Structure 1
Amino acid sequence: MAWNDVSALWQDIALTVLFLVPALLTGALVLRGYAPWPLVRAILWRFRGASALFVLLIAVSVGMGIGLLAQERGLRRGTAQAADKFDLVITAPGSELTAMLATVFLQPADMGLLDGATWDEIAGHDSVALAAPLAFGDSFGASAVVGTTLGFARYLADGQITGRPWQAEGEALIGALVPLEIGAEFTPAHGVGDAVDDHAHGDAHIRVVGRLGRSGTPWDRAILVPIETVWEVHGLANGHAPGTGRLGPPFDAAYFPGAPAVVVHSDALWANYALRSEFTRDRETMAFFPGAVLAQLYGVLGDVRQVMSLMALVTQALVAASVLLGLFILSRLFRRQIALLRALGAPARFVFAVVWCFGAALLLSGALLGLCAGVGTASVLARVVTARTDVLVAAPVGWTEIHFLAVFVSVTLLLSLLPAAIVLRQPVVQGLRS
């Protein structure tokens, strides 16, 4: 473990302890000189039904809060990882967000085309290690059919291909989650979603020859074909002079029909910035980092997150008020037992400790059960989001959720002092008659 990781770990531990200091000090002051545990256990067992219900309510509240916090962090991490392979994207001028959603997350979009001269300039640049044109617009079922190069397919899957790479037009590599088998044939439909025309490419038959490894991105449901196949299916030139019989780059600019986007990878970080600057041209090309666009989107969502955090704070305040009210109600259940203790001469501070420990036992039990419920909630939500978006979301509970739990425990344990104090103000005789 690196020194920075060790330092961050100790900082998180110290912050958690700091949040728990009010609760620890309260417990030390209340229990000083007393050990009311046998009596507290007896009261818990005597009113086990009401106590269990109260613990369950606390657990549900804490579990939902922890689950949502973990899920939000996991979704950010998952979407950021989905853009890792897309260092730089060059498209026709337009919306960076729309282009990013189309290239990284395969969302349908109406985009302009880059011409052959622009492709030649990009592919022939000294700083470009990989340039891959992308062609969208067709689909098969829920899978987008994307025309590209074999180099990009290998780059996207880190070389993990089951079966074999394509060797001719009319062959395809499928993502890890595409419901087809190697050797299967299909006919692509024109369009995506509600605009699908199943009969537009009735003469095209594509055979699956390989499957890409799991990437944890929407490309796991994509079908990759040679870009020449996409162009020819739409009645366009295939990027090469007639009779060449070539598949893949280099493409001939004179026979290059156009591509909505070109994914560019460079071995040097500085080169990516230089390429972005060079290919950001008014009315010609737009070059952007998908990661930077996501960061801007996170910035907008960060403002929303602040509002949501405020709402969560208000919600937790309401939960804390409910906890306080619940403790008042529960204290009425054993009002007679407390009055009997006071009539037998038990010190007021001992009685106070009994009532407070009863509430603390319920709160701590509910918080620990809520932590377990939060882990389960985050796992379930992660699976649902992954299934809906095809972005691999992992949402383990982290220190943010632990801090949330520590604050909740400290605040509610402090609030539980009020019911214990009010119990001591009730008349003993009236309590014995209840």
Structure 2
Amino acid sequence: MRRTRHRTTRTALVATAALSLVLSASLAASAAAPVADDGGRATDALGASGSPAAQDLAAALTWSDEFDGPAGSAPNAANWNHETGGGGWGNNELQTYVNSRNNSALDGNGNLVITARQEGGGYTSARLTTKGKVQPQYGRLEARIKIPRGQGIWPAFWMLGGQFPGTPWPDAGEIDIMENIGREPHIVHGTLHGPGYSGGNPITGQYMHPQGWSFADDFHTFAIDWNPNSITWPVDGNAYQTFTPANTNGNPWVYNQPFFFILNVAVGGNWPGYPDGSTQFPQQMVVDYVRVYDSQGGGGGRTGRITASNGICLDVAGANTANGTPIQLANCNNNTAQQWTVGTDGTVRALGKCLDVSGGGTAAGTPVQLWECNGTGAQQWAAVSGSQALRNPQSGRCLQPVGRVQNDGTRTEIANCDGSTVQRWTLP
């Protein structure tokens, strides 16, 4: 598909000094409560786990923004920059990007909402980037998004090479994870722009909704599986295209470097065309989360004791291997029920099974148990640097003993993360 567009040439584009990303596991928590299937495991509303490990990828969550916070608050400034201004953004777009809570704010339900508005004889919207703050290289990169709709509306979840603008576009590289133009409500596009293949001549493909429905009708998960010599685009876990250096026709493959994220909603432009009488405002892009998983690790890891802050051990009750066996604290005794493998796939395993949040629950007080490893979000854990907490990203809550009592035989649960000593764990 040809299109004359160039997203990044505006001279006033804000440039922050490039920083290397130190991927942190200290952020996470899906705001959308999972639904339990007949087996009691956690799934999302589409029936597929939000964890890529449950689909086709053994991966450890290394960074996320779950957009938790009070309604009307700004997105986390530790992760996101606001790029502002008008001028068409190289595509003859109509909107002016502003840093206003009317255009970008948390909704209080675990979502970021980017709103395009018609006001003052023009249009306002928001464009957020992680430039200089979060710049991953490789892995499963995904966002769960409900896109806006309407002629002339252009939502996107995309990336630019971390050396931009010092290295100009397109040499810096661009990865479009998801773009939609309002006149094609049932189609999303995935694209690469680089030296020799950019603007109206990119490397690109598209994915049509399996039922032909509008992508604006519900949330969908848009992702890339990014490796040194390939990038694959899944939508809701369904991979629809893979590009490799062979697709550049001898031009440089510029995707072996850190990239930063961009979320925006444009109004008008050369490719989508312009709003007409059918276009309704305001239009909102609702983002449930953005996540980065490390796909390079596999399921190995470090094995040994996990100890609480008072030195007592994390233990499988009775060394029982049955599904549903409670996880407790116990005096350290060197048996196999206290030998835990902290996996590079995000699991914590003992006796051949996984540390699991019962029923895939997300509420504070949900018990923690041993369960057959199944790749769901109920079995994903992230060590929080600094506080030494062990956090379940799906719920956003941390492992602690029931009643906050560190005694022999005390069972464990998930609870609100508070940085306290009873949530502090020493891992192998």
More strand, by proportion: 2
- Compute the TM-score of the two structures, normalised by the length of structure 1: 0.25
- Compute the TM-score of the two structures, normalised by the length of structure 2: 0.25
Q: Which has the higher contact order (CA 8 A, sep 6+)?
A: 1
More helix, by proportion: 1
